Structure formats: structure tokens, C-alpha cells
Structure 1
Amino acid sequence: MALQVVKQDGALLVQTPHVNKNFNKRIKDMGGVWHNARWRVDARNEALVRAALKRSYGGDGQGEPDVVTVRCTIHKESWQGPVDVAGRVIARAFGRDSGATLGDGVVLVEGRITSGGSRINWTSVVDATVVLHDCPRKVAEKMIDGGYVGVSGAAIENATDADAAALADGVD
């Protein structure tokens, strides 16, 4: 799903391609509410909404967003919530024994995503190399410069042909 911003009855209806905790906080701070699988916010906040979209998603719903594909290694753990980088959900567990699921647009290349901890104090765990599709270029550049805790070896990828060839050469 692409970014979509529609004006209707004095409100902006905003759909995003994946969850971004930072964007969610910003739009809530503008009075936004989640309704029918999209954000609804006062249309008078359009400039602020589009700026927040550009910051979190690389585009504002007008034209093509400035996004890239990034390959990086992530070693992070989150107590009773998802592991995220720049607000982007990488993986999420729902309990100690639930395992974890990947966030939208995230591909596990090698390593593990899982859950851990105790029954009451469970964690989401990422110890893996992943590919992040549709990553805003500014976020990717900050990853490459080492600007996020628990993220290393980040590089912008043009294609994942090498990964596909390696996967095809494997034996089950």
C-alpha cells in the first residue's frame, strides 16, 4: 500500500504502508484518531501531517517518496513491545512463547527473530541481518553513519539478486 492523503469533510484521511511509532505519536499529537484502518486528522493540519509523513515515510503522499532498500544487522531487544528502528517495526512478539513476526516490508536474511524473557516480563528479540524495503533515504543515511543503537553494517541495496542466487543454491 502506498501513502495516501485524502481530504474529506474538513478532515484528512491518511493511509500509510506500514506502522511507524514515531509517525503515530506525531499524528496523535495533532489530534489524529485511528478510524477505519486510517488516520483522521483536522485538514487545517495538512502541512504538519505532510511534513511528518515525509520524515517517517520519505514522502508526503504527493509524487514518489524518496525511499531505498537497506540491508543491515540488528541486535536489539524490547521489553513487552516491538523492536523498532527509527519508529519502523522490525519484529513484534506477543508473549514469551509466541515467537515473533516480522514488520511490514522487512525480510529476514539470516539470524533470528524470537521472543524471550519470562511469562510476565517477555521480550521481542532481533539478532539478525534484515532487508528493509521502502526506507526513507535520510533514515538509511543515518543508519549507515551508525546513528541508531543496535544497528550495524547498513548499506543501501539496489537489488537482492545475490540473496536470491544464494537461496536458490541451497539444499533443503
Structure 2
Amino acid sequence: MIVQEDIQAAANGDEEAFQTIVESYGPSLYRAVLGVLRDPEEAKDATQEALIKIYRSLPSFEGRGLKTWMTRIAVNHAIDMKRKKQREYLKWEKACNEPDDPQEAVDFGLIQTELQHRIRERVQDIPERYRGVMVGYYLEGKTYEEMAASLQVKPKSVEIKLYRARQWLRKHWDKEDFE
């Protein structure tokens, strides 16, 4: 069990006292971080980084609820890591979808315009019950919420209808029609 003397000694830089704290609370910090990140290797790294933050922050610890305080630091660090990873993924995805070369950008825009034109030509083939959501979402760029408001239904209904429309397209249209 951790006593106040261990906490004070660790706050004053005693690494052995901090090691005692880590041995007591480390496994529960790891489990909390794993719950956020869902990846054992990332959770190990995040726990180690959080322990460094905790060690550096111990002098500012107010003396109440050490485990809760440590867990909050570890979980916040894990959330920050997860957000950073998501931002990096979005940057990567955007970079993959946007051509760097100006000529490629023009070509990409022409291809997109041509594809939209083909879809507009074939949109009359889509059954009436699906046509509105397909046009609204893909050609007009409306959100589920915008379409739900105009159709006076819940956004989930629009999502389901759009899912069924995609299923219909997969069944009735060949992919080659749009390449």
C-alpha cells in the first residue's frame, strides 16, 4: 500500500519511491489506457509516457486521490494520442485524394465531373423510393439531417434508405459503367 511518505519522496525525486507507486498502480493505468486505445502495444507506450508525465507532475499533486489523479492523467494522454492519430490519418487520406500536380488536379476534376454526369444520366433508372436520397446525398451534397428535415423523418430513416439504395445500385449497376 502506498503511504503519504512514498508520494512525498517520489515528488522530491526519489525514483525508488516512484517505482513503488508504479508497481501498485501501473497495471490499472494500463487497463484504463487500453480501454481508450484498444491496441495493447499503443497502450503500453501511452502508459509509459503517462507515467513520465505523472512523475514530472507529482510536485503539484495535492495529496488526495492519487490513483484517480494518475488515472485521469493517463486517460487524458491516451485520448490525446488517439486524436493525434486520427488527425494524422485524415491528413494522409486528404493527401492521397488530392493530386499535387496542377494538371493532375484539372484531370481529377474533369473525371469527377464526367462521373457525376454519368450518374445524372442514369439516375432515372433508380427506383423513386431511393432516387431522392441518392440525388440529395451524392449530387447535391446534403447531410442526413438536411434530408431528414426536408422529408420530415428521422436521420436514421435517411441513413437506412441510403443504405438500401446503395444495395440496389450494387445489384443493378455494373461497376464498369462508372469507370
Normalised by the size of structure 2, how large is the TM-score?
0.24
The structure whose RCO (Cα within 8 Å, separation 6+) is larger is 1
Query: Which has the greater radius of gyration?
Result: 2
